[in-house]
Homo-oligomer: A and B are copies of this chain.
Amino acid sequence: MKQSMTFIPTLREVPSDAEVKSHQLMLRAGFTRQNASGVYSYLPLANIVLKKIEQIVREEMNTAGASELLMPALQQAELWQESGRWYSYGPELMRVKDRHNREFALGATHEEVITSLVRDEIKSYKRLPLSLYQIQTKFRDEKRPRFGVLRGREFIMKDAYSFHATKESLDEAYNKMFTAYQNIFSRCGLDFRAVIADSGAIGGTDTHEFIVLSEIGEDTIAYSDTSQFAANIEMAPVNAVYEKKTDELKPLEKTETPDQRTIEEISSFLNVTKEACIKSVLFKVDDRFVLVLVRGDHEVNDIKLKNLYDATNVDLATADETKEALNCVPGFVGPINVSENVEVVADHAIASVVNGVCGANEEQFHFQGVNIDRDTKVSQYADLRFIQEGDVSPDGEGTIKFAKGIEVGHVFKLGTKYSEAMNATFLDENGRTQPMIMGCYGIGVSRTLAAIIEQHHDENGIVWPNSIAPFQIHLIPVNMKNDSQKDLSEKLYAEFIEQGYEVLLDDRPERVGVKFADADLIGLPVRVTIGKKAEEGIVEVKVRKTGESFEVALSELQGLLKQLLGN
């Protein structure tokens, strides 16, 4: 493509309203412009990258056995009323009336449409499983659109849906999709983790988020520094083994601890380690009181507590409830001598505490010399704390680190939520009517574009991975008025294309400094500069990523490009 004929409006200044690097660079390098809050135009360079990402997505979806289709953005309200989401989705779902005053949703997602489509056509287990996907513009009226196309109101998404007669069939499709997602994000050059995100069962395999590691991310994940393990911090199981000290057991002793409530205060006041403190937190789990014990250096994970009891509601007990249950004020609560109506559960780490400290259920007093088995009635031990940096990875390989990240994909076993609500059934082998079992699988295509830039840039601009660069070669004649430079540029432009490269020729009548600055901003993998030595048949080749540059004779150019770009 010739730069004079296309539209790459670069900016020298960093736009003041762009907070994150990808947003700044997409504006500065002429990739996007904002049309309204959270609504963007993708200019030619961005469009090329989008199409490349889409192509990668298509190839991997097809390999996973899914067929592409295209559903409409205008979705009848009646469908959303069937699933109930017309009422529950809230203002994020944009709604529009047609000239006959009929209501439509603007497609935020397509579970309802695909479910209605499939239920109308498929009646027998013989025609299952079926996986369908589309790549399409979606609309979600975000409360706070921000970070450019990372969180927009109109964006491009790949959404896939699968339909099954059995759970095993769903598992199989899910695993294929999982592999496809790994391939897609790898091919896009992203450093990402497939993160356990199940809110139903700890360490479950019913849903994963694909998270691109980035400081600007809104999610925190726990990942192993050596294995593939990764999970949302809420979801990561703790698999630690705790060593129990062989110290002689001390007697239980009540100590006055005036106004010492927090673990920090108590450990300092009594001069003991946090590890020796037993943190006791009273919860209301549905209708019962549960006192949860974790070590002083740990935090209670209420999602794990909720899952332990398969509870609907888990809340911290209020001061009144604490008074009612333990006849005590918060800050001095402990597991010794609690009444029958309070169940005491403990994190595994508590079993190894020797001669610990805990609240005495009496204002201004704690116990010292606490030994759980001897002094308390713990009804059960379980994994009840948040994982921490430095913990052993739950899969046994490596150590846990924390990172922030951007969600670019999500695979999810829907089960029969939509098929039951919308009556999408089939006849099984025995002629019985069953609801179809479903999975859904999303990728934020335009968000992926921004995430790539977030991970691939330096102080001068974007640094595209070769696989999704808008072009591979930026061909820059220093002076278009010089005939031999101009002629050689045109010749090489044609040759490179002939050789199968994608080339951007900067044929603009601009100063070379402007051209170089723009080239760095745009960030194509290899820059070929035609300068004064054109007449001698020598050009300069510069690698965007490393900054390396070479003076090359034309005879050696093809070999070098092959080496650098691997064509």
A residues adjacent to B (C-beta < 8 A): 1, 5-7, 9, 33, 35-36, 39-44, 46-48, 50-51, 65, 67-76, 91-92, 94-96, 98-99, 102, 104, 106, 113, 116-118, 120-122, 126, 130-132, 134, 136-137, 139, 141, 143, 153-154, 509
A122–B4 CA distance with the chains assembled, in angstroms: 12
26 contacts between A and B (CB under 8 A): A5-B130, A7-B67, A9-B121, A35-B71, A35-B113, A35-B117, A36-B104, A41-B70, A41-B71, A41-B72, A41-B113, A42-B69, A42-B70, A44-B67, A44-B69, A47-B68, A48-B68, A51-B68, A73-B137, A74-B139, A92-B99, A94-B98, A95-B96, A99-B141, A99-B143, A106-B106
Q: How many subunits of this chain does the assembly comprise?
A: 2
A7 neighbours in B (Cβ, 8 Å): 67, 69, 118, 121, 130, 132
Secondary structure type dominating chain A contacts: mixed
A117 neighbours in B (Cβ, 8 Å): 33, 35, 41
Tell me whether A98 and B141 are in contact in the complex, defined as CB-CB below 8 angstroms, given that A41-B69, A67-B5, A74-B39 are known contacts.
yes
A113–B43 CA distance with the chains assembled, in angstroms: 12
A40 neighbours in B (Cβ, 8 Å): 72
A35–B116 CA distance with the chains assembled, in angstroms: 9
A1 neighbours in B (Cβ, 8 Å): 67
Of the candidates B70, B94, B122, B137, which one forms a contact with A50 in the assembled complex, judged by CB atoms under 8 Å apart?
A: B70
A131 neighbours in B (Cβ, 8 Å): 5
- CB A291 to nearest CB in B, in angstroms, measures 43
A65 neighbours in B (Cβ, 8 Å): 5
- CB A93 to nearest CB in B, in angstroms, measures 10
A153 neighbours in B (Cβ, 8 Å): 74, 98
Closest B residue by C-beta to A96: B96
* B76 near A35: Cβ-Cβ < 8 Å: yes
* B71 near A126: Cβ-Cβ < 8 Å: no
In the complex, besides A7-B67, A46-B70, 6 extra interface pairs with C-beta distance below 8 angstroms are A5-B131, A6-B67, A35-B74, A41-B71, A44-B68, A44-B132
- CB A29 to nearest CB in B, in angstroms, measures 13
Of the candidates B67, B69, B72, B143, which one forms a contact with A39 in the assembled complex, judged by CB atoms under 8 Å apart?
A: B72
- CB A247 to nearest CB in B, in angstroms, measures 61
A102–B47 CA distance with the chains assembled, in angstroms: 27
- CB A332 to nearest CB in B, in angstroms, measures 47
A141 neighbours in B (Cβ, 8 Å): 98-99
* B44 near A74: Cβ-Cβ < 8 Å: no
Closest B residue by C-beta to A50: B70
A92 neighbours in B (Cβ, 8 Å): 99
